[in-house]
Structure 1
């Protein structure tokens, strides 16, 4: 089987090259990226390269890939222009039965036969989406450059973001996360962790399942930037209907042909499902229970109706059929999420129109949804939902959580000048000291 093996360390997984940004004697920090915010490499078996007519990975023009070699896939600008069909087919996932370590059988969304995908490891893989290309597509670069200048020793624990939400992948990743953090800490002091967007979900889940004792030993504080754990109505529109640039806030546009094809590919990615509005930890809904996120001519769907929405959509829109199963798999994971039990800082955006409600023109979900209500936020998640989740978390006796609103959009929360100025101060405790002195 051509599994992704993105985080397993199995024999057929070959670590991506990386020139980690290192200050060996500097203070340490762990970085966890979000959706579409880490470069991905792919490997297609030589006999199944997209250049060969008649296979499953055909492309409209000769692709830029070297057969039988690992190649940059997300995002390779040349490939997006010349071989977009192959690009999206390689990134597509399909359901496969997997066994977890405890013997539980789950439905895993994994790579097609003959395909492997891995994250580009290290800080280089998240600083920009196209490492080593002449014209960079920056993601974390503003922050990582500043932390490097200040002497921080950074470690990025990267993962195949498409598959976050898949129980089998998550089980593998938690083991990788644990090993990397423990290796960085060694016999030394606990280290801070920064998560951005879906990376905040990753951090919260890993710390929840690793437990209070482990977390307090190895993690000094968490900085959660642009959380989407509470849910983003905007993402609902992206699932099976809108292009990746809509949901990921990417600083570039893909060719329209790519956007049309990538919609079907995105519908196989569990990561989208993890950002649907839902009860965090199975208990906390950061929205009014009767607030409709999706409106159809004869029905409305609230934050408590997302399973029903995906079930109905899957019956009527073929490309979304995997949605309901991905939701059920994610529910088994998300119910375990708790607020971090260490000092936590939540940075979130305000001042931007943010989709808060979608309206479909029909009950069959055939037409494109329109945003029919906006609220204040970072253009991806509403500020009110972040504040509601944080206030709920602050009720936990083990949680020491501080909110930091900034007038910054979602992407620039991790690399814009305001965040780049604030985050280093939070890492050292300087920001808290200044606030306490006021």
Structure 2
């Protein structure tokens, strides 16, 4: 599934003649919503055959508490593919049939991580304060994209068209005034890539200034923990306040996000950005440093292949024992190592 129409989808009314500030968010910094189509009972309360209204799946505390399984809707289906330039890549698409996951459009998607009524009760602030500060003097515009899929080169090609149209539209609204770009974390990586592809001439005509906050062009060692199931800054505390409840689901779905791999530590122009010490992650006697991305991922895959159950501490918990008991009685079919797709989701086989 692609990113949808490349039509400009801004929920803000931009003032003609006023300069536009375009905000490009990073990993896990734009809310995601899901909508189940007719006949899909994944999200609905009373399945009446009607199309479902969108629900916040990243992240709504009330939704997660009410339907913990919706965390799985964030998983992506990965297929081998080749980019237009002939580079091997993965093609990403929504992991569940008839469930469409998209970023929340407009400033609402980046102002807080839980837009809507819930935000007024338990706000998880992202760009809110900056938007409030700049709005009196500038048009503020969010460039929303599915941060999970950044790194899928086919998706990146589609996104480049959307980026170009968004900026050109903003310049037109401003009466020819070039935009100011603000990128945070992986958003800085997105900006640098887009400007590089679109070229110097286009950039000079459409962009006046670029502000990169905490740029993730070199990645971050903290992603080791995020990929290996934390504790991590991506999956815990201020970003997902109820992470402990959905720990297993977060681990399973995050491993399907190319965007997470796109911000693993890397060299810049051949130079090491991070020192070898301190240790990025440690498991028993094995230590991984910033330069050990490939060995780390290879070891994770090996562990999954050899012992997909025994590697995780929570497998010995009461929850795991109950799950195995239900499976032994042929009441529930559930897979511990999750793959995107309804076929592998837990399902009731027969009543007691």
Establish whether TM, by shorter chain, passes 0.5.
yes
Number of the residue aligned with 2:62: 78
Aligned 8 A contact 2:225 2:232 in 1: no
Cα deviation, residue 242, structure 1: 2.2
Cα deviation, residue 192, structure 1: 1.2
Question: How far apart, in 2, do the equivalents of 1:166 and 1:268 lie?
Answer: 11
In the TM superposition, 1:47-86 aligns within 5 A as: 47-50=39-42, 67-85=51-69
May I ask how many residue pairs the two structures share in their alignment? 306
Question: How far apart, in 1, do the equivalents of 2:84 and 2:156 lie?
Answer: 12
Aligned 8 A contact 2:27 2:186 in 1: yes
Matched, 1:37 2:29: yes
Cα deviation, residue 236, structure 1: 0.6
Number of the residue aligned with 1:180: 166
Question: How far apart, in 2, do the equivalents of 1:266 and 1:299 lie?
Answer: 23
From 52, 71, 74, the counterpart of 1:91: 74
Number of the residue aligned with 1:231: 219
Q: Taking structure 2 as the reference length, what is the TM-score of the superposition?
A: 0.76
Matched, 1:312 2:299: yes
Cα deviation, residue 101, structure 1: 3.4
In the TM superposition, 1:200-219 aligns within 5 A as: 200-219=188-207
Cα deviation, residue 41, structure 1: 1.8
Structure 1 stretches lacking a partner, 5+ long: 53-60, 322-363, 369-438
State the secondary structure of the residue aligned to 2:102: strand
Cα deviation, residue 66, structure 1: 7.2
Number of the residue aligned with 2:83: 100
State the secondary structure of the residue aligned to 1:192: strand
Cα deviation, residue 132, structure 1: 2.5
Aligned 8 A contact 2:226 2:235 in 1: yes
- Structure 1 stretches of at least 4 aligned residues deviating more than 6 Å after TM superposition: none
Aligned 8 A contact 1:245 1:254 in 2: no
Cα deviation, residue 111, structure 1: 1.0
Aligned 8 A contact 2:27 2:148 in 1: yes
Aligned 8 A contact 1:244 1:262 in 2: no
Question: How far apart, in 2, do the equivalents of 1:143 and 1:154 lie?
Answer: 10
Question: How far apart, in 1, do the equivalents of 2:43 and 2:235 lie?
Answer: 30
Question: How far apart, in 2, do the equivalents of 1:51 and 1:152 lie?
Answer: 38
Q: CA 1:366/1:179 → structure 2, altered by over 3 Å: closer, same or farther?
A: same
Question: How far apart, in 2, do the equivalents of 1:366 and 1:252 lie?
Answer: 21
Question: How far apart, in 1, do the equivalents of 2:157 and 2:29 lie?
Answer: 21
Aligned 8 A contact 1:267 1:319 in 2: no
Question: How far apart, in 1, do the equivalents of 2:199 and 2:131 lie?
Answer: 29
Matched, 1:193 2:181: yes
Cα deviation, residue 199, structure 1: 0.8
Cα deviation, residue 83, structure 1: 0.5
Deviation string 1:281-316 (CA, Å, 9 cap, x unpaired) is: x52321235765344555443333211211111111
Structure 2 stretches lacking a partner, 5+ long: 315-352
Q: CA 1:130/1:302 → structure 2, altered by over 3 Å: closer, same or farther?
A: closer
Question: How far apart, in 2, do the equivalents of 1:110 and 1:230 lie?
Answer: 26
Cα deviation, residue 229, structure 1: 2.4
Aligned 8 A contact 1:41 1:72 in 2: yes
Cα deviation, residue 125, structure 1: 1.5
Cα deviation, residue 190, structure 1: 2.1
From 121, 128, 139, the counterpart of 1:153: 139
Q: CA 1:216/1:247 → structure 2, altered by over 3 Å: closer, same or farther?
A: farther
Looking at both structures, which has the greater relative contact order when contacts are Cα pairs under 8 Å and sequence separation is at least 6? 2
From 101, 111, 114, the counterpart of 1:127: 111
Deviation string 1:357-404 (CA, Å, 9 cap, x unpaired) is: xxxxxxx97569xxxxxxxxxxxxxxxxxxxxxxxxxxxxxxxxxxxx
Q: CA 1:166/1:318 → structure 2, altered by over 3 Å: closer, same or farther?
A: farther
Question: How far apart, in 1, do the equivalents of 2:8 and 2:232 lie?
Answer: 27
Question: What is the RMSD of the two structures over their aligned residues, measured on CA atoms?
Answer: 3.2
From 20, 27, 31, the counterpart of 2:19: 27
From 118, 121, 125, the counterpart of 1:138: 125
Number of the residue aligned with 2:349: none
Deviation string 1:393-418 (CA, Å, 9 cap, x unpaired) is: xxxxxxxxxxxxxxxxxxxxxxxxxx
Number of the residue aligned with 1:166: 152
Number of the residue aligned with 2:244: 256
Deviation string 1:159-215 (CA, Å, 9 cap, x unpaired) is: 011111221211111111111112212371322100111111111111122222222
